[in-house]
Structure 1
Amino acid sequence: MKPLIYHNPACGTSRNTLAMIEASGETPDVIEYLISPPTRERLVELLTLMELPPRELLRRKGTPYEELNLDDPALTDDQLLDAMIAHPILINRPIVVTDKGARLCRPSERVLDLLDNPVATFTKEDGEIIHHSGEAK
């Protein structure tokens, strides 16, 4: 299976993750999730693959998170999913899926453990140099 990335080109973390995948010799399927958001069913599947509850996938910065009062602990997982489907910007990114699993890649170097032949060294957009030992984190 080709790597799949739910990507936002306006996000530096997402750009770095995509660049690490490509530097590792992979040509991923790229889904710009703000243009083509996942269905509710697919979002539930991704959360299951990542072993995350919906609250852990919520993005706060630059979203209607506060306006929608999503910090209310009484909100159910279904209500949080409804909010993410109605406002895809609330879905944190990037999400990468490979044969090795699925992961929210924040920080971006978390993608390296999902790749068959990860690049050993990578320089992020901000100049930070990442060294990958090949050991799972």
Structure 2
Amino acid sequence: MKAIIYHNPRCSKSRQTLQLLEDSSVTSDVEVIDYQKTPLDVATLDEICTGLGIEPQQLIRTKEELFKELGLSINDNKTREEWLAILEQTPKLIERPIVKINGRYAIGRPPENVAALLGNMG
């Protein structure tokens, strides 16, 4: 089964999740997308949020210094499209890693979330 991981190689949780996918007997093919080098477009971000069952602002790393520097607040009165545009323009703010397997999504923070997803696939 193919897995896609939206990955940041500088993040330890992202590296742990990638290793989990590579070691799994469920995933035979792992596509790694370094979203810092290959930014995600609004359509992909919207698909991810829909797949996770969350609003775009719930995908934001609010403790990231850049979030504060941009003067953002989760309580800002922005539309879904505006939040998606912020994520598209500032990939550093995206929670990571995100894994897609067989049309289902999980955020690998902690990596056990992805292990649970894999367990449901086996």
| TM-score (norm. length: structure 2) | 0.86
Percent identity, aligned pairs only, is 37
Residue type at the aligned position of 2:46: V
Query: Structure 1: which 5+ runs fail to align?
Result: 118-137
Q: Is residue 62–residue 93 contact of structure 2 (8 Å, CA) maintained in 1?
A: yes
Residue in 1 aligned with 2:51? 49
Question: Counterparts in 2 of 1:98-137, with a 5 A limit?
Answer: 98-99=101-102, 101-115=104-118, 116-117=121-122
Question: Counterparts in 2 of 1:58-97, with a 5 A limit?
Answer: 58-71=60-73, 73=75, 74-97=77-100
Q: Is residue 100–residue 114 contact of structure 1 (8 Å, CA) maintained in 2?
A: no
* SS of the residue 2:73 aligns to: coil
Give the whole-Å Cα distance in 2 for the aligned partners of 1:109 and 1:20: 9
**What RMSD over aligned residues (CA atoms) do the two structures have, in Å?**
1.6
Residue type at the aligned position of 1:69: G
| Larger-Rg structure | 1
| TM-score (norm. length: structure 1) | 0.78
Residue in 1 aligned with 2:11? 11
Q: Is residue 97–residue 109 contact of structure 2 (8 Å, CA) maintained in 1?
A: yes
Query: Structure 2: which 5+ runs fail to align?
Result: none
Taking CA–CA contacts closer than 8 Å with sequence separation of 6 or more, which of the two structures ends up with the larger relative contact order? 2
Residue type at the aligned position of 2:24: S
Give the whole-Å Cα distance in 2 for the aligned partners of 1:69 and 1:75: 13
| Displacement over 3 Å in runs of 4+ | none
